[in-house]
Amino acid sequence: PVPTPVQPKPVPAPPKPVPAPPKPVAKPTPAPPDKNGLKKVDPTPVKKPAPAQAAKPAPAKAKPQDDFLSRLAATPSQAPSKRQASASTQKTTGQSAVGSGPADAGLTTEMKALTQRLNKLWLLNCDVPGSQAVAPEIRFTLSPNGRVIDGPVWVNKRNDPIWQAGANLALAAVNKGQPNAYLDLPSGLYNRPLKIIFDAQKACQGR
Q: What is the rounded average pLDDT of the residues 94-115?
A: 67
Structural domain tally of the chain? 1
The torsion angles phi and psi of 194, rounded to 5 degrees, stand at -115, 145
pLDDT of residue 152: 98
Farthest-apart Cα atoms in the chain, separation: 203
31 within a domain of the structure (yes/no): no
Would 112 be classed as within a structural domain?
yes
User: What is the overall mean pLDDT for the chain?
Assistant: 73
- CA distances to 61, 68, 86 from 79, in Å: 22, 11, 16
Is 187 among the domain residues? Answer: yes
- Domain range for 173 is 94-203
Question: What would the mean pLDDT of 31-50 be, rounded to a whole number?
Answer: 56
In a domain? residue 65: no
14: in domain: no
Q: CATH no. for residue 194?
A: 3.30.1150.10
Domain-embedded: residue 146: yes
Measure the CA–CA gap between 122 and 115, rounded to whole angstroms: 10
Q: How confident is the model at residue 207 (pLDDT cuts 50, 70, 90)?
A: confident
CB-CB contact of 141 with 188 (8 Å): no
> Would you state the pLDDT for residue 107?
87
pLDDT top residue among 18 and 72: 18
Percent residues over pLDDT 90 in the chain: 47
Assigned domain for 44 exists: no
